[in-house]
Structure 1
Amino acid sequence: MSRKVLISGGTGMIGTRLAEMLIDTGYEVALLSRQPGTGRYRSFRWDLRAGTIDEAAVPYADYIINLAGSSVSEGKWTEERKREILTSRLGGTGLLARELAKPGHHVRAFVSASAIGIYGDSGDQVVNEETPAASATDFLVDVSQKWEAAAHDVEKLGIRTVVTRIGIVLSPEGGALVPLARTVKMMAGAPLGTGKQYMSWIHLDDLCRLLVQMLEEPQWQGTYNAVSPHPVTNKEFTETLASVLHRPLVLPKVPEFALNLMMGEMSEIVLASQRVSAEKVLRQGFTFEYPHLKPALESFYEEE
């Protein structure tokens, strides 16, 4: 039985690790790319601006994992940057939905990324997949809602569709952990804002193992939170990171206004509180290798 996976966004932090893991598990992997043919995987060209995709891409695949989307944590959110964040997600998902509506392919499952940003700032209330979406006046809420709606167009075609609301992905290769670890290492680490806001995180390897399980097992269908079972407050996160890096925390809290000055609207990512439940993926039979923060961080920084 053929086991070919097509990944959009395959050169990003998550896609890179996921592709390695799929190859190790015996899958064949191909990527959708603006500049195909440069890496170690077979790749098909697509161009989101022009709305074009290699006609052979979707017919190649047994499974599609859709991770394409411009990083929300790089660069200030200018109007242009926000447009890019939105169109990179909607354009990619829309293109795939359009191709999947055509006959002549054998795609068995479509696993599409979304983000816990959809819950907005929910304070210390635990939110789960049934929680009504927050008000779309918040940029990340709006992006996530539109992104998920685009994925549901694939579901309407009768293809098993899994929407994965991804939390703060921990990896020393990129994402939120890199600047946080850098400030702690420079002895400038401090909780951000009030420090009471919840961070719902997941270790990169757990996320990739979860995506593989979603792809393989037909009982996965619908929407799931991809977060560890033990979210922590920003203060706990910063303190745990400092202890793993063997650095003191010298500063008091970094005030909210300073973060707004540095990051603009993007400060939402670190200031919004999201205490997201992992109950549904646990009930579905997924086992976390890193359910707790300290061992997750130690897996990256043991040598330091």
Structure 2
Amino acid sequence: MIKRNVLISGGSGFIGKRLTSLLIQKGYSVSILSRNEKQNTAEISYYKWDVSTQFIEEDAVLKADYVIHLAGENIAEKRWTKKRKYEIITSREQSTQLIYSVLKKNNKVLEAFVSASAIGIYGAVNGAEICTEETPPANDFLGYTCQKWEGSLDFIEYLHIRTVKIRTGLVLGKDDGFLKKLLPVFKRRLGAALGSGNQYMPWIHVDDLCNMYCHAIANSSMVGPYNAAINDNTNNTIFSKTLAKVLGYSLWLPNVPAFLIKLAMGEMAKIVLTGRRVSSDKIESTGFQFKYKKLDEALKDCLAK
């Protein structure tokens, strides 16, 4: 039997690597778009692309049954200068446009195009309101970025391809993701809550996120945006206390003042000083089940040797 092929952009990143392994376990063949020359393996085919020059090996798209689109500049990697903001937005728009151009040129119809997005679409604000997929996008930089990101997918929909948008929260995983930056400090027992500590932190275990992508390509009824985060009351204080407890101690340092974080990070400090609650009802209504719904269990798994 011929295996269904999944093409992944951003496949060499933290989420992409885990997703690739999971798809192979589930019996799919996997292709990965990469900027660098890589040797094919028995299970993975690599194809070159360069978004900046709009170059892509078209066979990658033409052999695909599904596309999972993860590519885009890391929003938390560098300070948000005017240039960096431009790179963050255009990397998302132009990468989608590049894949779209191949689909349109060749009249290629995929079974599904599943793209990353983010809960940042609801804005860098604090509040107890629970955001659903129907909550209006915010007008700040995060909201605008996600709107442009999701808006670029309209072109895919125009080709009558089922399109799914996975609005991702803070991703927890072993040796990477959100925890990678926190663990060096917390392992030295120097962890502390940030700012007021009241900002919500919608999180998701990387295994649940990857299973959600697999669920999205397999479930033909899924279309449009879905929140990918646990709907609980975890705020920064609760998260910090839970992480410290899993590591075997209690927080003892005072909260890190917001002004110090703003000095260090500039406008990007909004990522850690703000946060909204989100609903997971829509994705769960499709039959998707989270494996990790309790923060302490998720963190214990991430920290297991």
Q: Normalising to structure 1: TM-score of the pair?
A: 0.95
Cα displacement string for residues 212-238 of structure 1 (whole angstroms, at most 9, x for unaligned residues): 010111011111001123251110000
1:131 partnered with 2:135: yes
Residue type matched to 1:131 in 2? T
The 1-side partners of 2:192 and 2:5 are apart by: 45
Residue type matched to 1:245 in 2? L
- Corresponding residue number in structure 2 for 1:253: 255
- Corresponding residue number in structure 2 for 1:183: 185
SS of 1:274's partner is strand
Residue type matched to 1:5 in 2? V
Return the offset for 1:92.
0.7
- Corresponding residue number in structure 1 for 2:19: 18
- Corresponding residue number in structure 1 for 2:57: 54
SS of 2:98's partner is helix
Residue type matched to 1:270 in 2? V
The 2-side partners of 1:70 and 1:247 are apart by: 35
Return the offset for 1:78.
2.5
Q: Normalising to structure 2: TM-score of the pair?
A: 0.95
Q: Identify unmatched segments of 5+ residues in structure 2.
A: none
The 2-side partners of 1:79 and 1:175 are apart by: 25
2:225 to 223, 226, 229: 223
2:93 to 81, 86, 90: 90
Cα displacement string for residues 79-116 of structure 1 (whole angstroms, at most 9, x for unaligned residues): 33222222211111111122222335341100011000
SS of 1:17's partner is helix
- Give percent identity, aligned residues only: 46
The 1-side partners of 2:267 and 2:259 are apart by: 11
| Cα 1:231/1:90, change in 2 over 3 Å | farther
Q: Identify unmatched segments of 5+ residues in structure 1.
A: none
| Structure 1 moving runs of 4+ over 6 Å | none
Q: How many residues align?
A: 301
Kindly indicate whether the alpha-carbon contact (under 8 Å) linking 1:59 and 1:104 is maintained by their aligned counterparts in 2. Answer: no
The 2-side partners of 1:96 and 1:207 are apart by: 23
Q: C-alpha root-mean-square deviation of aligned residues, in Å? A: 1.4
The 1-side partners of 2:276 and 2:52 are apart by: 33
The 2-side partners of 1:15 and 1:262 are apart by: 29
Cα displacement string for residues 113-167 of structure 1 (whole angstroms, at most 9, x for unaligned residues): 10000000241111010001111xx221111110000012111210000011011
SS of 1:134's partner is coil
Cα displacement string for residues 143-196 of structure 1 (whole angstroms, at most 9, x for unaligned residues): 111000001211121000001101100113322211222221122211111000
1:204 partnered with 2:206: yes
Kindly indicate whether the alpha-carbon contact (under 8 Å) linking 2:126 and 2:200 is maintained by their aligned counterparts in 1. Answer: no
